[in-house]
Structure 1
Amino acid sequence: MRFGVLFDIHVMYILFRKLWIILIMSANAAMSETSSSTMLQLKESVGFSYSATNLFLDLIRGERAITVAFNSYMDVMSSSDSRVSFRSVEPIVVSYVGFGICVVLGLLFAILMPLAGLVFCCARCCGKCGGRVQLMDSKKDPCKRTAYTICVLLIVTVQLVAVVLAFINNFLLHEALVNPDPKIGALSQLNLSILETEQALREMFKMSMNTSSVNLDDQKTRFMSLVDGGLREFQSEFIRKSNANLVLNPIGELQNTVRDFSVNSEDPTLLKHFSDSFVQLSHKLPSIREDLISTLDSNCRLELHLRCSKLMHLAQTKLELRFKVDQFQFEEASVFIDQLQRHQNELENLNEFNTTLNGLADVVNRAIVNDLDRAWTDLANSPSTREKLARSFEQYLNQIYHFLGNLQVQLHELSVHSNPSFLKLVEFSLYGGIALLCVPILILLLIYLGLCFGICGRRPYEEAGVCNRGVGANLLLAGVGFVFLFSTLLMVFCTILFIFGGPLQTEACRYLTGRVPDGPKKLDDYVHNSLQLLIENIRRNTKLRQQQQQQQGHGQMNGSTSVYSDTHSLELALNISRARLTDAILTRCRNEPFVDAISGGQLTWPVLYEPIQAILEELINSFKGVNLIAPLSQTVQLCTDMLNRVDFVASANFSITTKQMGLPLTYIDDLQGYLIELRSLQIPQLDAPIAALMQQVVSLDRLREQTRNVYAKLDSIPGLRLHLQQQFSMFNEHLATAVKITMDVGLKKLRPLLERELQLAVIATWRDIPCYSLHVAAKRSVDAVCVTTLMPLNAFWAGLGLALWLFIPLIIFAVKLASLYRKTEKYSSDYEEPDYISYQGFYMRPSSDYQVAPQKSRNKNRQHKGYSLVPQPC
């Protein structure tokens, strides 16, 4: 135990020595400058406190997005209900429950600690809480004394480390505000960052006017492919607007019908087979009928006579062909099919109309390709055009320079060399922090002295010797008293700093510094979503107010102009947020050029519209000058001539034959049923006539429906030709109107595409412009605020807060240890024997006037074997 105590004392000596050095440096801060290397080493030595503080803040804040709480806040503010439900504010509560708990605990600590001290003092005055001391050690007291001493040593050592870190961070915060070295001072870092930002922007602007060295072949290929895609969409739009499908569909139907009658196709073969079979049937059917009748007349049994007579009568009257051979127009159909086969190629040439329609995009592309190449060359290689485009940003750059200049002037006015009030405030914060931290240092010093006296002193009332354990107990209680006195002041100050520095770290700096993965990108998304939600909320509320005023008869809102201006400024900020500038500058500019860093090079700026306006108008005029009517009119005329050359189609008429094919070949409607009745007679001599009828008549009757479809196709060809001629005529009449309408619609869609691609062409020429210097300047400004200034501030309240919260277990152990230090006599086994009084207890006991309370007799109420219980005096 003595070795551990000596080790802790050595640690305490080192910490106090460092603290003393810091105090000397702080005292001489206004008179002499501390070397930068020493300050940087001091800053690195407390770096672990920054990490610990950030871990604590991340723990209590969590990873919920900022927009979750912001959305809930906007919903609550825009709600018409006066009562707010917990569900509506639940995201806010969940997001900041950690901060709320810490603030509440800090306030409870500040309120309850002095009350607890008052109760503690009253209790000790009444003899409670160690106020009435037992002068003799119990058997376990030495062990307790050792354990409590070690616990107090550990707690006080941790507190001392925390307070020393708070001292160091207080000094670093002071140096961040006053030191002129950019490596240490935050204001000097910001000033240097402004100068570097101006220089980086000027270099980028100068490079944007120089000739580009970027290979733009891939960009040009992409540009041409996108333009071609836009023209393909224009072509599809023209087909829809002109109702070209009303022409294309009849062309396809006519061509498909004619293809069905090409050489060696199925339909002509079927028609020829049916014709030959029908001619043969017309010759064979009379003999088959005579055989059937004679067989029924001579071979029918007596019991079947009535049935045979009925069947024989049907054969005599109805078993004959319904139509003659010439009624089916076999010759006319054969001649018509031969003519179709000879003119099939001419009908196939009707595809020229479809080819012309699908080639409209190529026609437009060929008409404007030279202008596109000239525009691309002008944008990519013309120094005058590049300078003109770069000059379009000059106005905005001047505004940025003006803003940076004003910011630099304000920083100069805020510096300690130009603003005595700010210097006084900084010095007051430094020495006020030192004075505030001296309170816990005094408390810890009292505790350490109490431990030293308590460890080296054997008993509190020795007449000789320097170490006195009773003095140690008094020092411990003195430290406890100071804790009760100053805890409220310390905790209130710590809580105020926590409320200021904690949210700033969790809501902004941890994203800007990249502590959160993809932090700058997430912050850009949060800002963009919040602005979008804010604009939507303003518009919704404005619309609701206008509706309410209109219902009340007050007309339009008088403040619509101001609302519009506010929304316009927010929309401007929203458009800027789409560029993801934070992520681009703080992350992507480290390894990528500025164009690729901002949205992958696919971002366009409205400011570029004016410089490319002349080039854009030339392309639009070239597009308008394309003559689409001429090729389409020529194609329509060509197709009409083709249809006129097949005028033989108009004379074809197979409608009667088609209707006749819908009837059975014989007058017996159900010939197959008739044959079934013949089989049911079970006359063997009827097998041959039945087989002949099945083979000749029934099989041919089954082909009748298919042959009817062939005649229907032949009969539809004249109607298809006439319908197609009418559609060509209507298409040609409305062609000019359709072209004009489609041109207007196409320009509305193609103009933004050309504008965007021309801007991207300009931007592509700036891919050789680096932005690493801009990244360094922005990173320096972020470090100045979030690292150089905010980190010491957060580490200050973290160290002070840790020391304050450790006062709670320290009070408990210190009070118990003080009671143990006041024990007068060591534990002895002789006290266990009855009627035995210790020599030291009898002769070396303190005088009665020093005794706080009369001690009870040492006689033990113990019952031994053979003895009766002796009453003890009260």
Structure 2
Amino acid sequence: MALVFSVLLLLGLCGKMASGGQPAFDNTPGALNYELPTTEYETQDTFNAGIIDPLYQMVHIFLNVVQPNDFPQDLVKKLIQKRFDISVDTKEPENIVLALKVAIYEIGVLICVILGLLFIFLMPLVGFFFCMCRCCNKCGGEMHQRQKQNESCRRKCLAISLLLICLLMSLGIAFGFVANQQTRTRIQRTQKLAESNYRDLRALLTEAPKQIDYILGQYNTTKNKAFSDLDSIDSVLGGRIKGQLKPKVTPVLEEIKAMATAIRQTKDALQNMSSSLKSLRDASTQLSTNLTSVRNSIENSLNSNDCASDPASKICDSLRPQLSNLGSNHNGSQLPSVDRELNTVNDVDRTDLESLVKRGYMSIDEIPNMIQNQTGDVIKDVKKTLDSVSSKVKNMSQSIPVEEVLLQFSHYLNDSNRYIHESLPRVEEYDSYWWLGGLIVCFLLTLIVTFFYLGLLCGVFGYDKRATPTRRGCVSNTGGIFLMAGVGFSFLFCWILMILVVLTFVVGANVEKLLCEPYENKKLLQVLDTPYLLNDQWQFYLSGILLKNPDINMTFEQVYRDCKRGRGVYATFQLENVFNITENFNIERLSEDIVKELEKLNVNIDSIELLDKTGRKSLEDFAQSGIDRINYSMYLQEAEKPPTKVDLLTFASFLETEANQLPDGNLKQAFLMDAQNIRAIHQQHVPPVQQSLNSLKQSVWALKQTSSKLPEEVKKVLASLDSAQHFLTSNLSSIVIGETKKFGRTIIGYFEHYLQWVLYAITEKMTSCKPMITAMDSAVNGILCSYVADPLNLFWFGIGKATMLLLPAVIIAIKLAKYYRRMDSEDVYDDVETVPMKNLENGSNGYHKDHLYGVHNPVMTSPSRY
């Protein structure tokens, strides 16, 4: 009890840093994780008997049969209240009733004890009369055997029965040897178990300062985390504010940026379209001029005299219809110019809408720098406050007299260890006496069983069925003597063995049923938790002895359960009723200064303009530029036309073919020259026209895609811009204030959570009382039950079993010895007429009067028994 109280005192003084309550503790915020350093204790809280555990379980089953009643909690309570004084006093009927209840509960044990006592008193008495009877040649004392017809069957049955009984006795003796050796082995382990518990309790003392240092060290970890957030306020707080604004702002700026890209693409497309129209006009004009010149040349040839005569006239007539198709297919002056739209878009593009969008992004991205610049002085003050709280925690820890209590408890542990080392040699000495006595008992039973075995061995193998009882061999006779020697030793020592069995049975059975089992199922603790049981004035004994306040609900079962699962001493023993740590470790008071400083954290962000009036006017002008009203179909239709009305190469080939049919002359040469000129015109002028047409087509398609629903798109962008700007104007201030407060709460949360963890660690986790409960388990479950009670119960079970079996063994051995020993007289069977009756009457020639003369007749046809 002094050990428990010393540990309680130690943790109570340490507990001045924690509050009386047990705050709920969740995961630490951010990246902070706290975990008290724990000590690995070496003492096991379970005790396994190993391969002989089934033997112990067998004894437990036997005890449950002998004593099937549940643990008598009410009866034990009354006995404790009576201080175990159950003397039968007629003036106190309650004592008589209580004694009867005890007797009823112990009825199985009492019956076994009564049977044992009967065995103790009757066996020596029976042995005495048996010896006296045999001395008078009674009770089988006469060396004469009555022969019967079933003699062989009876002998074999008796031998087999004795063998089986001896085997069962041998098994019981083996149990005794094992139990005796287990007791010695387990007692020798007691010192190791005690030293192991001592080291665990010593580790318990060294664990407390380490855990306190860890708790104090975690303040620096928490402070460093807060400092890191404060130093990174631009990215932490600024990032949170940006995170609130970006979902509303970024899509709008991206739309405006896309619109700026569309303006630039429209400008490029209009420029390309305007350039293509100009190139088309120039190329078409030049192509038309050259074709007109060639056509005029061909017309002159057709109108000459050379075409008037055959065969030229027919050829000229075939050329005249085709001559009208020789010309350009485009008239550049028919397509309207897009210079007005181009000038409008150029004016819009000069505003550089993309730079305005970048300015909107920059106004959002500059928020962290603005916060960093505005909060520099406040952050310095907050850091100073955090450092002052750190000094308070350190000063508080230095005021705890841990060293003195550790020194006091260390002295107690040293004294206890010294006492154990001084007492264990005496315990081992007494155990050696018990071990020697157990060996003697086991060897006595072994000697008796050995006599029986030798008797059976010599009797069975030395028996000759052809020999008469008076002519049996020496080996057979020795077997009978061994059996009778076993009987004699049984009568001499069995009652002494039974005395030992009864004494160990009463002690071992009651220890198992009244201490070990109820301690295992915690019913014994429930009895001790009965109000006003151990002290008439105290409702709760444990709180009265430990906390000097018997009204505090503290039970043995609750303490055992909490300590078993590793709960801290402060919470287990409810030290908040003695040591109020909230006064010195008040979370609100310690965090109050931090809160005040963080309240000064004020961030002011000016109104953010996503797009100024110039940019907005540019979008509106772009929507009104007129590119959506251009007749793109007309341009596309014109661009789809070929450069010339007829394929010039085909026409040149046709002209050349026709010319080759003419006779040589000026007309033929003129046509061939015109065909050559047409090919030259195609090579020089048709590709530029076709290239201008392709460029015009691409530009028209690009503009058509851009201009489709242009006013609606610009209107949608402007609506999104107005919505985002309204959001900024209305909510920017509240967002900044909310995120600033949240940032402050995060910083405070680090320390509040740290302080709550300190409370939780000290009250729930620091200095687990498990080693104390392990020491108690070692004393009860380990030493008392596993090391002493179990081997003791196995010992009396085995020895008692062997001793009880001596009774049938003695009876059978006495009967069986008659079949093995050499008799002094025997029964002889012969015909009645051949027997001399006078010799039968006077027993002449020195024979016993019961000796029958005559010729032995093994067939026994006419038996006569005398």
TM-score (norm 2): 0.47
Give the structure with higher Rg (CA).
2
TM-score (norm 1): 0.46
